[in-house]
Amino acid sequence: MPTSGLAPLLLADGRLPVGAYTYSAGLEPAVAAGLTRDRIPALLRARLHTTTVTEAAAAVLALRAARRDPVDYAPVQRALAARTPVAPMRAASATLGRGVHRLARRLAPGHPAVTALTTAHTPSLRPLRPVTLGALGVVLDVSDEELAYGVVYDELQTVAAAALKLLPGDPLDSVAWILAAGPDAAAAVAEAVAVRTPDGLPARAGLLTEEWALEHDRRERRLFLA
């Protein structure tokens, strides 16, 4: 599918219609636990070195799997699920993955990388978002590095956008946060692209993030699913 260089921009655009607006990348649970606006840059750096690098690496592995014949996402799906031990976080990833899968089906319904997503899930878990991003990456013909940067940038922008609802302040602050996170973002991309096998997928646990996600799942009033 020719994209004239637009594909990486689409992947990094929060307006892509895949349901990402329902997700705060852990910010809402963190705010409920007492995180203040001045600590958002620290949260971004922490996530870039934990959850984000794992998801970016999984997306790249899925992208590589999608280029093979036959396409087999199962090893990446299993490895990522094992590195996402908290059930609400897995559920959120599967929900977001459903939106990405829907977009991939609309763009290329018969593509082997897209049809293979139907066999990527276990009986209890649909394809996780990074796995579906790998399929979409093949459809859009992006490189490993472009996809990794898309995942990393999406994480930064998701937190920044959610902050406007959860911790209102000057919207221009988000630009400074993202630019300041640049070196950490580049390091996360380099590490993600360097991963070669599902067994080598980083297992970076954000213990507080996981605890907050469990508490968030029990709340009846919330703006975001995670």
> What is the three-state SS of 159-207?
HHHHHHHHCCCCCCHHHHHHHHCHHHHHHHHHHHHHCCCHHHCCCCCCH
Question: What's the whole-model pTM score?
Answer: 0.94
Alpha helices in 12-143 (DSSP H): 27-32, 40-48, 51-66, 74-82, 87-107, 112-115, 129-140
CB-based burial, 88-102: b 16+ in 10 Å, e otherwise: bbbbbbbbbbbbbbe
**Enclosing H/E stretch for 147:** helix 144-166
Task: Tell me the pLDDT tens digit for each residue of 60-99.
Answer: 999 999 999 999 999 999 999 999 989 999 999 999 999 9
CB 52 within 8 A of CB 187: no
Predicted pLDDT at 122: 60
pLDDT in tens, the chain (226 residues): 656 688 888 888 888 889 888 999 999 999 999 999 999 999 999 999 999 999 999 999 999 999 999 999 999 999 999 999 899 999 999 999 999 999 999 999 999 999 999 876 665 679 999 999 999 999 999 999 999 999 999 999 999 999 999 999 999 999 999 999 999 999 999 999 999 999 999 998 778 888 989 998 898 888 898 8
Tokens read off for 133? 């991003």
Cα-trace Rg, the chain: 16
Distance CA 96, CA 20 (A): 7
Predicted pLDDT at 5: 82
To which residue do tokens 């992947």 refer? 11
Predicted pLDDT at 82: 94
Distance CA 71, CA 100 (A): 18
